[in-house]
Structure formats: C-alpha cells, structure tokens
C-alpha cells in the first residue's frame, strides 16, 4: 500500500475499515478480565488508550512532535482538549450501551447518532453544505451518508425485532442486563457526545498542518500527520474518564483492586459505568464468601490489549483521512462509523447475541449490514469523482520555500 501523500479513495476505505475493525473489537479482551470492577479495568485500559499509545506512536513516527504541539497556540490546544473532555462523556456511557444492548446492537444505535452529528455538523458549521449540494461529487457523498444512516436505522430495527422475540431469560443469557428502553436512552446521549471527537479533530487542524510540514521537512511520510493531534484530544478523554473512575473507586471502595491478590466473592457482581455500586449477584456467588485469587497479570494484559486496540481505530482513521480528497474529508467519519457497525454486527453474530431470533430478524440485520457496505461504496465513489477532478498546478517554488523555512 502506498503510504505517501496524495488522495486515493481505495486506500482511504481500507484504512478506515481497518480502524473500524479495531473499534469493533476492542471490548473483547475485557471479557477475560476477572475479579475487577468496571472502573478498575476501564481505567487501566484507558491509560493505554489515551496516554501511553498516543504518545508512543507520535514519538515513534513524528519527529519532534512535542514541538508541534507546543507551537499550536493556546486556543487550538484548549478547544481540542475541551472537545476531548466532551467526547469522554460519550465514551463513559458507551460502556453502558454495550451493557444494556450488547456489542452488536449497542454499537449500531450509539454510532448512528455519532455518524449523523459527526459527519454533517462540521461542513454545515463551516458553511460548505451548499457546495456539497451543488457539486455532483458532493451529492454522491451526501447520498452515501444518507444510505449509511438508513443502514444504521435498519440495524436498530433488527434490535427492536430481537427485543420483541426473545424471552427475558434468553436475552439475559447472552447480554446479562439487556434493557432496550434504558439502552436507547444511554445510546442516544453516548452517540451525540461521542461525535465531539470529530469536532476535536477539526479544532486540531493547525496541529495537523504543522505536523505535515514537519514530516515533509524530515522526508518522512505525511500519512502520520494526525498523530500529534490525538495526543491532545485524548488527554481530554482521559480527564473525564479518570475523574469518574476515581469517584467510583471511592464509592465502591475498589481502589485497592490494582494490587490486591485476592478478593471476596462479591467481586463477581455486575458493576459498570454510571450504575456505581448497584449490582445483581450471579447465582453461583450467593452464599459463597470464600476469597478468590485475582489474576492480576492477566487482568493487566487484557486491559492493556483492549486499550491499545481501541487506540488503533483512530491511528488508522487519521491515516485514512490523509488519503481523502480535501473537500470530501468530512465523509471519512461516515466510512469509519459504517465499518465499526459492520464489524460490530459480525461480532454480535459470532458471540451468539442474535441466537434464538427468527429468520425475519436475521434477514433484517443482514439487510442492515448490506446497506452499510453499499453506503461505503457510494461515499467512496463520490470521493473518487472529486479525486478525478483536474487538480490546480502545484507551485513548486512555494513548496520549496515552505520546506526551506522549516528546515
């Protein structure tokens, strides 16, 4: 794969889909964490997602990236950070969405809002909507966005059908606390707030531009230009999650779990996110007060793995954005969201979250995935049309002067 400069919608789709696969898969390692509360493994995973991985990969691939961040200006850094904080609120409730709706349906509903707000608001705010509506390539891209939203709606319909068909005991066998109404409310809030991540990336545009110039100066690949912006944006996300997990540690008296070799049987309770200490004990725990050994090493490994996998979604997303035509970059968010839902739905099938539902429901969820795939192709076609437009001549002398200035 060519990772140099220049737009290429096929490479863009491949990179966005790789990021989508990472996003849809990150929660799986958490399923192997034992005897830890939600706030414990979420914060360990988040430390790798929002602090370690962003700094490590920016340091590895972008020369002197701290200089780029420090030179961005206070206003850019503050707004990027604030949007990260707001996005963190969506990330917190996203865990609850998966709890109440399962991986397949939970991601589909939450990301529907995230796709709509994250894709359409930036060009509207920038005053570019009329350009999209009057250009053939823009109309094709917008059609792809609408088809994507239709695909997400079909996925939600499949979830409603599942809700109607499965008896409570069957729903809870796969998703222990399946609750469609509560899950929809949480997913709505989570999706809208999660869209702030894309706003943060827009606010960090000066950081991206400075990173690209720096990479060109060092004869490195411009495809890494988005990595320094992730460092600042994810600091905001870490702040929100750290504060809430700290509150839960005090409330649940769970702060010692990071080092405790054994815990009581009550650690098997179902505790996560905003519910704090409220829980339902599993039948095999009731009456069993014998302390149990905690697999500390395994818990740290699986939590760290979940965190790094999560980070890779935006690692590949920023790479994919460098391959999108400039005018069509806003549609990269649609490609990202659609791919997450596709892979999340497939994981839902693998994990038997749709087991016991009718053929009708199976056909509905299949139609939802097919529609999302179609939306990706349409968005890609629109960006391809934009890419084929005659590009203005490059002013070689000007480019050379910019590079010389930053040398």
Lowest-confidence region among 111-125, 223-237, 384-398: 384-398
pLDDT at position 232 is 96
Q: How confident is the model at residue 275 (pLDDT cuts 50, 70, 90)?
A: very low
CA distance 111 to 191: 6
Residue 1's pLDDT band (cuts 50, 70, 90): very low
| Range list of H helices, 129-226 | 129-134, 136-165, 168-174, 180-194, 196-203, 205-217
Taking only the tens place, the pLDDT of each residue in 333-375 is 777 877 887 887 788 778 777 777 788 888 888 888 888 888 8
pLDDT in tens, 175-231: 556 677 777 888 888 888 888 888 888 899 999 999 999 898 888 888 999 999 999
Most confident stretch, 113-122, 206-215, 274-283, 334-343: 206-215
pLDDT higher than 70, residue 283: no
User: With 60 as the cut, is the pLDDT of residue 5 above it?
Assistant: no
Rounded Cα–Cα distance for residues 103 and 320 (Å): 25
Residue 110: the pLDDT is 78
Q: Give phi and psi for 292, each to the nearest 5.
A: -125, 145
CA–CA dist 133, 137 (Å, integer): 9
Angle at which helices 74-125 and 227-252 pack, to 10 degrees?
100
| Residue 46: partners with Cβ closer than 8 Å, 6 or more residues away | 237, 238, 241, 242, 245, 307
- Computed from CA positions of residues 49, 70, 195, 3, in that sequence, does the dihedral angle turn out positive or negative? negative
Q: Can you give the pTM of this predicted structure?
A: 0.75
- List of E strands, 18-154: none
């Amino acid at each position: 794969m060519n990772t140099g400069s220049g737009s290429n919608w096929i490479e863009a789709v491949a990179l966005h889909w790789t990021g989508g696969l990472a996003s849809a898969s990150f929660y799986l390692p958490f399923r192997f964490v034992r005897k830890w509360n939600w706030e414990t493994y979420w914060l360990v995973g988040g430390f790798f997602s929002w602090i370690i991985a962003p700094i490590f990969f920016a340091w590895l691939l972008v020369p002197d990236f701290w200089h780029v961040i420090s030179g961005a200006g206070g206003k850019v850094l503050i707004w990027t950070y604030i949007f990260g904080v707001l996005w963190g609120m969506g990330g917190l409730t996203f865990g609850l969405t998966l709890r109440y709706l399962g991986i397949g349906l939970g991601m589909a509903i939450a990301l529907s809002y995230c796709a709509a707000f994250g894709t359409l608001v930036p060009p509207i705010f920038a005053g570019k909507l009329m350009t999209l509506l009057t250009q053939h390539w823009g109309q094709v891209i917008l059609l792809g966005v609408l088809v994507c939203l239709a695909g997400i709606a079909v996925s939600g319909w499949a979830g409603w059908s599942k809700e109607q068909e499965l008896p409570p005991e069957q729903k809870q066998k796969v998703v222990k606390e399946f609750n469609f109404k509560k899950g929809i409310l949480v997913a709505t809030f989570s999706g809208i707030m999660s869209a702030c991540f894309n706003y943060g990336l827009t606010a960090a545009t000066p950081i991206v531009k400075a990173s690209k110039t720096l990479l060109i100066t060092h004869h490195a690949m411009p495809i890494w230009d988005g990595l320094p912006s992730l460092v600042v944006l994810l600091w905001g996300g870490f702040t929100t999650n750290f504060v809430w997990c700290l509150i839960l540690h005090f409330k649940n008296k769970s702060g010692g779990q990071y080092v405790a070799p054994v815990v009581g049987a009550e650690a098997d309770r179902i505790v996560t996110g905003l519910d704090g200490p409220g829980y339902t004990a599993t039948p095999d725990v009731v009456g069993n007060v014998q302390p149990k050994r905690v697999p500390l090493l395994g818990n740290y490994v699986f939590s760290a793995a979940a965190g790094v996998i999560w980070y890779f979604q935006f690692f590949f997303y920023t790479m994919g954005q460098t391959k999108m035509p400039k005018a069509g970059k806003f549609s990269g968010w649609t490609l990202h969201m659609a791919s997450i839902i596709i892979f999340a739905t497939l994981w839902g099938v693998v994990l038997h979250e749709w087991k016991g539902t009718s053929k009708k429901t199976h056909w509905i969820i299949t139609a939802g995935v097919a529609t999302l795939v179609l939306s990706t192709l349409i968005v890609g076609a629109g960006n391809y049309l934009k890419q084929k437009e005659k590009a203005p001549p490059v002013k070689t002398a000007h480019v050379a002067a910019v590079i010389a200035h930053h040398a």
